[in-house]
Structure 1
Amino acid sequence: MSQSPNNQARHLISVTNPKSPISEAYRTLRTNISFSAIDEDLKVIMVTSSGPGEGKSTTVANLAVTYAQSEKRTVLIELDLRKPTVHKTFNLSNRVGISHVLTKQAALEEVIQDTAIPNLSAITAGIIPPNPSELVGSKALGSILDQLKEQFDQIIIDTPPVLALTDAQLISTHCDGVVLVAEAGKVKRSALLDAKERLQIVKARIVGVVINNAKRKAKDDYYYYYYGEEEK
C-alpha cells in the first residue's frame, strides 16, 4: 500500500532519510535492545512514555521499520486503543483491528496487514472499545502474542502512556522488554521515575530510555539517545 507523503515525512525518517543521524540513532536503539540481553530473545518489545506528546508513536513506528530493514519479519501492534496512530502513519485501513480479535469479532489472520515497508506488517487498533483496559488485561492478548511469535521474528507494541492509564502496565506483563520514551525539557524527572516504578511493580523489564528532542547541534532539530537500564 502507498503511504501518505505527509505522514511518511513526519513519522518515518527511517524510510525517507535512512542515512540521517536520527535514522542511525534508531538503528542504534535496535542494536542496544538486542544486546541488552545477549542470552535471551527479546521478541516482544513495547514502547511507552510517562505522559502524552513525548514522541512515543513516532519512536515505535521508526523502531519497527529498523527491525524490518534488518530483514526480520516484524509486526507492529497498535494497543493504544484510545488514541491510535499506526493506521495513519502507514496509511492502512482501520476497519478491523486488534480490538476485534480481542472481542472475538475477527480472526487474527484478518487483521494482519502488509505495509509498504518490506518485512513489516501491522495490526491496527480497530474500533475504539468502551473497555480498553479490560481487553488488554485479558488472557486473550497473551494467546494472540503466542500465535504471532510463530509467524514473526519481532513484535513491537505501541501502548498508551504509563501515568495516564493502567493499560501499559497490563500489556508489559506480556512483553520481554519495555522502552520508555521521554521528551527532553518537557517531562519532569519525578514523572519519569513514577512511570518507571509503576512498570517495575508489575515486574516489567525496562531495557532502555529514549530521550527525545534533545538538542545535539545547532543544526539539528531533535535527536534520539538510548540509555541502558539503570542499575538497581
Structure 2
Amino acid sequence: MMNQHLSRRIEVDEQSGTIGQWLLDRGRLTPSQAEKVLRLQRESGLRFGEAALSLGFVAQSDIDQALAIQFAFPYFSADDLSFSAKLFAAFRPFSAEVEALRNLRSQLLLRWFGQGHKALAIAQPNQASLDRCLAANLAIVFSQLGERTLLIDANLRRETRSDLFGQAGQPGLSELLSQRAGIEVITRLDELCDLSVLESGALPPNPQELLSRSGFEGLLRALSEQYQVIIVDTPAFDRASDVLLVAARAGGTLLSVEADATALEGLTLLCDALQQLGSEVLGSVLHR
C-alpha cells in the first residue's frame, strides 16, 4: 500500500514525471529512498533525477535510460546480459558508429522506404571473418525512430544458431515456411518498443527450396501490411545463392562489404546477379 501511494505521488509530481516511477519499477530505487528524493526535491527545487543523483541513490546511466524511455528512445543498459554485446546500436546509441548508422537510415528512408517499399535484404559477397551484425543493428536504429520494424533472419544455413536477442533454440522462419508453426514465432521485444524479430529457426535440409516457394513471397507480402520496415538478413553469396532468392522477393538490397576481406570480383558477381533478378542495389556499407 505504501509503495502504491508513493507511486501515485511520483506520477503526479510535475517535475519528477515518469523518471521516479521507472526507477521504482526496475528496482533502482527503494520506496524509502524515493521518499528522501521527494523531500530533497521539495526543499531544493531540483528535478527528481538530479535529486536522486545528488543523494547517490542512482547512477547517471540510470537517469539516461529513464530519459530515453520518456522520449521513446529505448536502449539497453551496459549490464544487461540478456542480449549480445554485438547489438551496439542498443548498447551504445550515442557512439560514432551508431551515428553513421543513423545517416544510413536517413538515406534508406529517402531512397527506399519513403518510396513505398517495405522490405530490404542485407547481402554480403563472402563470409567475412568478423560478424558485423549489420542487419540487426540497422533494424534497431529504425525501431528507435518509431518505425514498426521487423528483423528476419533468413540465413537458414548458419551452423550455429544466432543468439543476438537471447532466443537461440526458438522456432522461427524455417518452421513457419514448412507450416510447422504460425505467425506467433515472431517475437516483439518489449525492451525496444517497435522492434520485432523472426529468428531463422531450426536448420532445415532444404533451405533453398523453402525460400523458393511462394510461401516466402506471400509471407513478406502479409508482413508488409503490419510493419513499416522489414530488414532481412541473408547468408553470404559465396556459401549459397539463397541471398538471390531473398533479395528478389524483397526488391531492394544493401551490400555489406568487409575491407581487405571482400574481393572485387565477388562483389561484381553479386551485383550483376542481383540486378538480373530485378533487385535494386541501393548501395554498400564498408566495414573497416
Offset of 1:70 from its aligned partner? 0.4
Once residues 36 and 24 of structure 1 are traced to their aligned partners in structure 2, the CA distance between those partners, rounded to angstroms, is 19
Counterparts of 2:234 and 2:266, CA distance in 1:
17
Residue matched to 1:140 = 215
Match of 1:112 in 2: 186
Q: How does 1:115-194 map to 2 (within 5 A)?
A: 115=189, 116-194=191-269
* Alignment size in residue pairs: 210
In the other structure, the counterpart of 1:5 is 81
User: Residue 149 of structure 1: CA displacement?
Assistant: 1.1
Deviation at 1:132, TM superposition (A): 0.1
Query: Superposition RMSD on alpha carbons, in Å?
Result: 2.2
Q: In the TM superposition, what is the alpha-carbon distance from 1:171 to its structure 2 partner? A: 0.9
**Which blocks of at least 5 consecutive residues in structure 1 are unaligned?**
214-232
SS in 2 for 1:5: coil
CA deviation after TM superposition for structure 1 residue 198, in Å: 1.5
Give the secondary structure class of the aligned counterpart of 2:163: helix
Whose relative contact order is higher, 1 or 2, with alpha carbons under 8 Å and at least 6 apart? 1
- The 5-angstrom pairing of residues 67-86 of structure 1 reads 67-83=142-158
Q: Which has the larger radius of gyration?
A: 2
**1:95 maps to 2:170:** yes
Distance 2:109 2:210 in 1: 29
CA distance in 1, matches of 2:132, 2:180: 26
User: What letter matches 1:92 in structure 2?
Assistant: Q
Aligned to 1:41: 116
2:128 aligned with 1:53: yes
Specify every segment of 5 or more residues in structure 2 that has no aligned partner in the other structure, as ranges.
Answer: 1-75
Structure that is richer in strand per residue: 1
State the one-letter code of the partner of 1:111.
Answer: V
2:107: which partner in 1?
32
Structure in which a larger fraction of residues adopt helix: 2
Q: TM-score, normalised by structure 2?
A: 0.68
TM-score, length-scaled by structure 1: 0.83
Q: What is the CA distance between 1:113 and its match in structure 2?
A: 0.6
Q: Which amino acid aligns with 2:84?
A: Q
Q: How far off is 1:164 after superposition? A: 2.2
